[in-house]
Amino acid sequence: MATIVSEVDIENWLRKTVEWSDTTTLKTQRDVCLHLPKLHEFLLQIYETLKHMSTNAVIEKFPAIGQFLGHLCWNPFVISHDTGKVLMCCLACLCSSEPQNVIEIKANSWIQNLVCHLFSSSDQKRNKEVEIIAQLGCSTAEYHDKLLKNIMSSLITQIKRSRPDETKKDALDEHLHTICVTCISVLTLPEVAPLLEALLHYHGSGPREVLDDHFLEAINDAVLRKKIVLSESALLSLWLRHLPSLQKAVLDLFQRLIALRSKSVKEMERMMKDSFLPRAACHPSIFRVIDDIFRDALLECDGNIEVSTIIRVFTHSFTQEYNKDNIQPKFSLRAYFPGESPELLLALLKKYEGLHSHFHVQHLCTIVEILRNMDREERSPDCVFKSWYLLIHFGEWVDIAAEQLLTSDLEVSDDLLWLLAFYYNPCNKNQSRDRIMVEAKSMYGSLVSLFRNSTVCVTSFKKIFYVESKSNKWHTCTLQLIRHLCVTFLLNSPEWHDIIKECICIMTQTQEAASEVSDVLARTLYRLDIPGMESQKITTIAQWLLQDS
């Protein structure tokens, strides 16, 4: 575990740096050299702490941090050592890409001056600089601001004018590599952003990556920590040219979504869109990487409902971005799902918004027919998984199937129950899905009887659910399916809304059950928020249940 930095530690080191103010004496020089290894380690600890904090939070928690880092910047022994690179990183962490208040504006200006000072190579050069500034009649801050911008502008011009050819290719690659390494310490400074963009948009003539791997990793980390903001094209270029950065961005988003445990799918969608990954996924290569990570997560957690919902919401966000009007040529959706059945993909892609329930049922029967025909064939477990995983992406059709089962007079109830059974148990090992079908059909019949019966009471619901006895004998997947059906029944039966909370309590005796029920409620709210799917009564009751759970 990393050592926690305290204000006391910073103050102790500050006293030491003040003692080092006069570096002309042999005693001071020896003391600085003696302490450099420990100082280097301490600055690394500070960097690990600062990179996750805002400027305001840092100043509030560590009031002496500015004085400490400032003194170090004027010590030639420190800045000429490797410690100087870590010092630069610490300064960059304190810089705000979009300053929101006076403190952050002042901090940016202070850091800018220090960075320009660190770029100067000698005391003689710095003294000459002071004379020049005086002759120009401008302030030091104005001079440094223009100096840094001119340096960045010059480097950008060099990159944009570069035309790699065989005779100069190695020299150009080495030059760009040097620029990248130099930028690592200061890449969170706002003035450096245009240079980062230019570097990320540069592509050499050969297959080998020109830009430094550590540079690309540092940019990706800064983006994920919201320390810098890049254009969409630059971010896309970063993820296309550096697979580890894309994988880290996806895992970072996935971990935040799991930690969120939000009862609002809308919030989940907002977080996804904020990550830019659904839009970046419009490039098939990026989509395949993201989808492979989600698939592995689903396999790792054995079909966890929360992970399934994340995949479903991401797919919805991706298809929204894909369908947006733009002048860019589009890849066929087959490029995103190359190994899946074209017939099944087309069926699942059909929009369900605004369709009459009759057409919902018709289309669901088409989906079931395709899946059943595929299921009857002697296929490998991998083929079954591909069909199921594709259904997970477009799981809204499964929710609609549950809704139609309990709100429409159907002659095809077996087909829709089969779809739910396949969704919750794709592999029919030892005829387990057949068993689930029998158990689900029995429960479905009881719910239909309740739906048609005028008597409304908790006892009736509890009697058919058999929390204490029967549910313990049910298959795990049967329980998931039945909770799904029961929540759908309760939401779509207005006369049961007065006692719906008591009925929900019967089903949620464990944390796992409560999570599953919340997930169904949240998915329902999300789907009903789509134009053409509105139902105010159901929306109101679902929101109330989620807030109270």
Please spell the DSSP secondary structure of 246-299, one letter per residue.
HHHHHHHHHHHHHHH--S-HHHHHHHHHHTTHHHHTTSHHHHHHHHHHHHHHHH
Instruction: Give 150's Cβ-side CA count (13 Å radius).
Output: 7
The pLDDT of residue 132 is 45
Rounded to an integer, what distance in angstroms lies between the CA atom of residue 323 and that of residue 325?
A: 6
- Are 330 and 443 within one domain? no
| pLDDT reported for residue 171 | 65
Closest CA to 476 of 427, 434, 425: 425
Is 305 part of a structural domain of the chain? yes
Does residue 348 share a domain with residue 496? yes
- Quote the tokens at residue 216: 């690309």
What integer pLDDT is reported at residue 530 of this predicted model?
A: 73
Q: Are residues 492 and 365 in the same domain?
A: yes
Average pLDDT, the chain: 83
pLDDT of residue 407: 84
In a domain, residue 299? The reply is yes
- In this structure, is residue 167 part of a structural domain? no
Question: What are the tokens at 173?
Answer: 């690659």
- Asked if 472 and 509 touch (Cβ cutoff 8 Å), the reply is no
Q: Which structural domain range is residue 406 located in?
A: 342-548
Do 434 and 533 fall within a single domain? yes
531: pLDDT strictly greater than 50: yes
* Most distant pair of Cα atoms in the chain: their distance: 97
Q: What is the predicted pLDDT for the residue at 345?
A: 93
Give dist(CA 487, CA 491) in Å, integer: 6
Tens of pLDDT, residues 470-480: 545 777 888 89
- Residues 264-280 have a mean pLDDT of 93
Mean pLDDT within 83-97: 79
Q: Who has greater pLDDT, 146 or 183?
A: 183
Judged by DSSP in three states, 507 sits in: helix
- Percentage of the chain beyond pLDDT 90 is 32
DSSP letters, 457-470, are: -HHHHHHHH-TTTG
Q: Is the pLDDT of residue 124 over 50?
A: no
Does a structural domain hold residue 87? no
Whether residue 328 lies inside any domain: the answer is yes
pLDDT of residue 404: 92
415 token code pair: 């087909």
Q: How far is CA 307 from the centre of its chain?
A: 13
Residues 6+ away with beta carbon under 8 Å from 60 = none
pLDDT of residue 129: 47
Give the best-scoring range by mean pLDDT among 14-23, 397-406, 532-541.
Answer: 397-406
How far is 533 from 543, CA to CA, in rounded Å?
Answer: 16
Instruction: Report the C-alpha gap between 313 and 306 in whole angstroms.
Output: 11
Burial 226-241 (b: 16+ CB within 10 A, else e): ebbebeeebbbbbbbe
Residue ending a domain, among 285, 310, 338, is 338
Residue 14 included in any domain: no
Q: Is the pTM of this model over 0.95?
A: no
At 74, which amino acid appears?
W
Domain match, 332 and 456 both? no
Of the candidates 275, 344, 283, the one whose C-alpha atom is nearest the C-alpha of residue 313 is 275
At 369 the pLDDT is 93
Lowest-pLDDT choice from 116-130, 261-275, 391-405: 116-130
Which pLDDT tens digit goes with each residue over 323-377?
A: 886 656 678 888 899 888 889 999 999 988 777 777 888 999 999 999 988 877 6
Among 129-133, 234-238, 414-418, the least confident range: 129-133
In this prediction, residue 430 carries a pLDDT of: 64
Same domain, 334 and 366: no
Nearest-5° Cα angle at 530, 524 to 532: 110
One domain for residues 383 and 528 = yes
pLDDT digits (tens, 9 = 90+) for 190-201: 888 898 999 999
- Percentage, residues of the chain above pLDDT 70: 85
Q: How many domains is the chain built from?
A: 2
Q: Are residues 508 and 419 in the same domain?
A: yes
Q: How far apart are CA 403 and CA 334, in angstroms?
A: 30
Select from 338, 364, 398 the last residue of a domain.
338
**Contact indicator for 271, 256 with CB cutoff of 8 Å:** yes
227's tokens: 């320390």
pLDDT above 70: residue 414:
yes
Please check whether residues 279 and 359 belong to one and the same domain.
no
- Residue at which a domain ends, from 278, 307, 338: 338
Quote the radius of gyration of the chain (alpha carbons, Å): 31
Domain identity same for 319 and 349 = no
For residues 482 and 506, state if they share a domain. yes
Of 476, 393, 405, 475, give the one whose Cα is nearest residue 445.
Answer: 405
Tokens of 270: 């907002």
Asked whether residue 169 is domain-assigned, the answer is no
Under 8 Å between Cβ of 69 and 91? yes
pLDDT at residue 169, as a whole number? 59
Look up residue 329 and give its DSSP letter: P
pLDDT category at 180 given cuts 50, 70, 90 is: confident
| Residue 325 and residue 351 in one domain | no
CB 241 within 8 A of CB 215: no
For residue 538, being part of any structural domain is answered with: yes
Q: Which has more confidence, 90 or 348?
A: 348
